[in-house]
Structure 1
Amino acid sequence: MSSESATQNLTLVQAVRDGLYGEMERDDDVLVMGEDVGRNGGVFRATQGLYEEFGADRVVDTPLAESGIVGTAIGMAAYGLRPVPELQFAGFMYPGFDQIVSHAARLRTRSRGRYTCPITIRAPYGGGIRAPEHHSESKEAFYTHEPGLKVVVPSTPADAKGLLAAAIRDPDPVVVLEPKLIYRAFRESVPEEPYTVELGTAEVRREGEDISVFTWGAMVRKTLDAAEELAEDGVDVEVVDLRTLKPMDTDTIVASFEKTGRAAVVHEAPKTGGLAGEIIATIQEEALLYQEAPVTRITGFDVPFPLYALEDYYLPETARIKDGITEAVEF
Structure 2
Amino acid sequence: MPKCRRILFGSVTTWDIDMTQMTMITAIQNAHDVAMARDENVVVFGEDVGYFGGVFRCTAGLQQKYGSARCFDAPISELGIVGAGVGMAAYGLKPVIEVQFADYMYPAYDQIVSEAARMRYRSGGEFTCPMVVRMPTGGGIWGGQTHSQSPEALFTHVSGLKTVIPSNPRDAKGLLLAAIADPDPVVFLEPKRLYNGPFDGYHDRPVQPWKKHPLGEVDPDYYEIPLGTAAVAREGRDLSIVTYGTMVHVAQAAAEATGIDAEVIDLRTLIPLDTETVMASVQKTGRCLVLHEATLTSGFGAELAAQIQSECFYHLEAPVLRVAGWDTPYPHAQEWAYFPGPDRVGRNMKKLMEA
What TM-score do you get using the length of structure 2 for normalisation?
A: 0.90
CA displacement, residues 44-99 of structure 1 (integer Å, 9 cap, x when unaligned): 00000001000000001000000000000000000100000100000000000000
Alignment of 1:221 with 2:249, yes or no, is yes
Which residue in the other structure is 2:226 paired with? 198
Name structure 2 gaps, 5 residues minimum: 1-17, 199-214
Of 320, 331, 335 in structure 2, the residue corresponding to residue 311 of structure 1 is 335
Decide which of 333, 338, 345 is 1:321's aligned counterpart. 345
- Count matched residues: 322
**Alignment-derived partner of residue 265 in structure 1:** 290
Measured after TM superposition, the shift of residue 133 of structure 1 is 2.6
Q: Displacement of 1:132 after TM fit?
A: 2.9
Cα deviation, 1:249-303, whole Å, max 9, x if unaligned, reads 1111100000000000110101000111111111122111001101111100111
Taking the aligned partners of 2:338 and 2:19, their CA distance within structure 1 comes to: 37
Deviates more, 1:273-282 or 1:146-155: 273-282
Alignment of 1:30-41 (within 5 A): 30-41=42-53
Contact 2:155 2:161 in 1 (8 A): yes
Q: Hey, what's the Cα distance between the residues in 1 that align with 2:115 and 2:191?
A: 26
C-alpha contact 1:296 1:327 (8 A) present in aligned 2: no
Asked if structure 1 preserves the Cα contact closer than 8 Å seen for 2:241 and 2:288, the reply is yes
Q: Which of 21, 42, 45 is matched with 1:9 structurally?
A: 21
State yes or no: 1:238 paired with 2:250: no
Q: Deviations over 1:126-153 (max 9, x none)?
A: 0111113310000100000000000000
**Which of structure 1's runs of 4+ aligned residues deviate more than 3 A?**
none
How far apart are residue 7 of structure 1 and its match? 5.8
Larger deviation: 126-135 or 70-79? 126-135
1:287 aligned residue (276, 292, 312): 312
Aligned partners of 2:239 and 2:287 also within 8 Å: yes
In 1, distance between residues paired with 2:282 and 2:301?
14
- Corresponding residue of 1:76: 88
Q: Which residue of 1 aligns with 2:138?
A: 126
Q: What TM-score, normalized to structure 1?
A: 0.96
Query: What's the secondary structure of 1:191's corresponding residue?
Result: coil
Separation in 2, partners of 1:17, 1:28: 17
SS at match of 2:87: helix
Structure 2 letter corresponding to 1:245: L
Question: What is the identity, as a one-letter code, of the residue corresponding to 2:353?
Answer: V
Q: Counterpart of 1:3? A: none
Q: Is the 8 A contact 2:179 2:186 kept in 1?
A: yes
Deviations 1:4-25 (A, max 9, x none): xx96100011101110110010
Decide which of 181, 204, 211 is 1:169's aligned counterpart.
181
Percent of residue pairs identical: 50
> What letter is aligned with 1:71?
G
How far apart are the structure 1 equivalents of 2:170 and 2:228?
16
Q: CA RMSD in A?
A: 0.9
CA deviation after TM superposition for structure 1 residue 230, in Å: 1.7
Kept in 2, the 8 Å contact 1:152–1:177? The answer is yes
In the alignment, the residues of structure 1 paired with residue 117 and residue 99 of structure 2 have an alpha-carbon distance, to the nearest angstrom, of 17
Contact map agreement 2:144 2:330 (CA 8 A) in 1:
no
- d(CA) in 1 for partners of 2:280, 2:326: 29
Distance 2:60 2:308 in 1: 43
1:304 Cα deviation after fit? 1.2
Give the Cα separation in 1 of the matches to 2:338 and 2:313: 31
> Which runs of structure 2 are paired with 1:118-157 in the superposition (5 Å)?
118-157=130-169
**Corresponding residue of 1:160:** 172
Q: Quote the Cα distance in structure 2 between the aligned partners of 1:209 and 1:248.
A: 22
TM-superposed CA distance for 1:208, in Å, is: 0.4
Match of 1:185 in 2: 197
